[in-house]
Structure 1
Amino acid sequence: MKIAYSPCPNDTFVFHALTHGLIEGAPSFDVTYADIDVTNHLAIESDPNQHDVMKISFAALPWVLNDYALLSCGGALGRGCGPLVLTADEEHHPAYLRGKRVAVPSERSTAYILFRLWAAQQVEGDIGEIVVMPFHDIMPAVQKGDVDAGLVIHEARFTYQNYGLHKLVDLGDWWEKDTGHAIPLGAIIARRSIEQEALTGWIKQSIDYAWENPQASKDYVREHAQEMDDDVAQSHINLYVNEFTKELGEEGYEAIETFLYRAANDGLVPDTHLHKLRD
């Protein structure tokens, strides 16, 4: 079975057992490691037969629900784990972004959709230019003044101070206060032709194995963590692997629906296939 997910610690932690033959009855897996912006484009633009299972952004779901089903486990939702908007100067007012150049990791990411929803509510007037760049290039670009602000994700929550940068807004904090919901970040999708009950069961067993044997995946996580400090990698896992990873539940589905219907209402995503979210 072909699976694609990011090399980030939360994904390698969750899928270690599944992709290393540790789950009884599960098939072997051919793994593609790719940042979520890459998997978003693969899911939207490539042949659906190219990958059986993928980790993508929840923001990309409306484009793929005809071919892929959202699985109820394995993904990333949470609280206190949202994207940040950073600046080089200690700015604390949204108006600073009017007419500015803002670097973002993708225009089809949860982070970007949250940013646009927040900006529509909080920034009077138009933001200037949106510059898409790999997420690991964003903080250096803000630091050097190549852009005025940067939208960051992942471990940047723990490291942005190392670049002398300042937090303009925590978009997750804004989202939670505005809606009361957790933040929908990464979704696990599978081709609709695959028997989903068995696949979901294998992923849940992989999550349980990871929690019960936290040292077992340590070398695998470190191998793919892109020189990330072990403590930062563990903080990453602690933040993004939680009860929603094991089971979205009603609370998780409501958060996803609120996010996507809001985005569709603002013209940021299509609403064509949103009725298939729970199919």
Structure 2
Amino acid sequence: MKLTLGFSPCPNDTFIFDALIHHKIDTEGLEFDVFFDDVETLNQKAFRSELDMTKLSFHAFAYMTGQYALLDSGSALGFGVGPLLISKNEYLANHHDHISADLRVGIPGKYTTANFLLGIAFPHLLQKQEMVFSEIEQSLLADQIDLGLIIHENRFTYMDKGLHKVMDLGNYWEQQTGCAIPLGGIVVNRRLDQETKEKINRVLRKSVEFAFANPKSGIDFIKQHAQEMSEEVMYKHIDLYVNQYSIELGKAGRKAIDVMFAMAEEKGLIQPTQQSIYLIP
């Protein structure tokens, strides 16, 4: 059986999917037609129910629980891994009370978890411009935006470009909830039969476990998609976003996701879910 699979070219995704798509594990007869896209493009494809299996921001997933179910492996949750709000203006970095509603903010997508966290911390920031995450730093430097919401490897590069941190939105979330930050998960289309969905869940876990046991196995594949990142930065990125939650959500991982969904429902951002969001109850 051939299934459509979408994930980002970022090192954490290529790291966990390498064994699965290159048959380094037993895929139980499954083949995958892979699409590499940024997180917001994947979100939009999921809204159109185009993919059988995909990486998805948890914010976007909150709107699609009727179409997709969350797999128990492959998720990106953690402490100290949240998005950063940055600026070229050092004054703003030191004076949060001067962050006014008229400031222009570059965001990596409306339905990204990063934008959800921004809305919690700075609900008055509504002048948002959606752009590919890798273009946000340059837009700040060119004064096209006043604030930038950065994710992925840009967490490690913004200071080198003379940009300043305004707030670590991940730290803000952790202080508010005490939970890990749910960034993204791997979901499966509910239209597939139950046997296939459970098979996908098993082979994904095997792929993640293989990656942990053989961390250098996928180095060429990871480098191929890592946008000229050094190997050191690639593995720093992987260490941040791939952890025990990526093997299995467990109680703590599920609690973090449930808290996020409850907060979104409380703020009227999403409708209450009518069924379990998890493939495995």
1:159 and 2:157 are equivalent in the alignment = yes
**One-letter amino acid matched to 1:262:** M
Query: Shift in Å at residue 274 of structure 1?
Result: 5.8
User: In structure 2, the residue corresponding to 1:150 is in which secondary structure?
Assistant: strand
Instruction: Find the aligned partners of 1:96 and 1:235 in 2 and give their Cα distance.
Output: 33
Alignment of 1:84-103 (within 5 A): 84-90=84-90, 91-98=93-100, 99-103=102-106
Contact 2:107 2:136 in 1 (8 A): yes
Alignment of 1:56-205 (within 5 A): 56-90=56-90, 91-98=93-100, 99-120=102-123, 126-127=124-125, 129-192=127-190, 193-194=192-193, 195=195, 196-205=197-206
Query: Shift in Å at residue 93 of structure 1?
Result: 2.6
Cα distance per residue 1:76-100 (max 9 Å; x no partner): 1111100000011222232232121
Q: Find the counterpart in structure 2 of residue 260 from structure 1.
A: 261
Q: Find the counterpart in structure 2 of residue 123 from structure 1.
A: none
Instruction: Find the aligned partners of 2:96 and 2:61 in 1 and give their Cα distance.
Output: 29
Superposition TM-score, scaled by structure 2 size:
0.92
Instruction: Find the aligned partners of 1:274 and 1:110 in 2 and give their Cα distance.
Output: 21
Query: Shift in Å at residue 127 of structure 1?
Result: 2.6
User: In structure 2, the residue corresponding to 1:255 is in which secondary structure?
Assistant: helix
Which consecutive aligned stretches of 4+ in structure 1 deviate over 3 angstroms post-superposition?
none
User: In structure 2, the residue corresponding to 1:273 is in which secondary structure?
Assistant: coil
Q: Find the counterpart in structure 2 of residue 242 from structure 1.
A: 243
Cα distance per residue 1:245-278 (max 9 Å; x no partner): 001111111111111221222233x224364323
Query: Shift in Å at residue 243 of structure 1?
Result: 0.3
Query: Shift in Å at residue 112 of structure 1?
Result: 0.1
Contact 1:92 1:169 in 2 (8 A): no
Instruction: Find the aligned partners of 1:101 and 1:128 in 2 and give their Cα distance.
Output: 8
Query: Shift in Å at residue 11 of structure 1?
Result: 0.4
Instruction: Find the aligned partners of 1:117 and 1:277 in 2 and give their Cα distance.
Output: 22
Give the aligned length. Answer: 270
Alignment of 1:202-221 (within 5 A): 202-221=203-222
Superposition TM-score, scaled by structure 1 size:
0.93
Aligned alpha-carbon RMSD (Å) = 1.4
Structure 1 unaligned residues grouped into runs of 5+: 121-125
Alignment of 1:25-64 (within 5 A): 25-44=28-47, 46=48, 48=49, 50-64=50-64
Cα distance per residue 1:228-247 (max 9 Å; x no partner): 22211111101000000001
Sequence identity of aligned pairs in percent?
38
User: In structure 2, the residue corresponding to 1:63 is in which secondary structure?
Assistant: coil
Contact 2:119 2:125 in 1 (8 A): no
Contact 1:62 1:272 in 2 (8 A): no
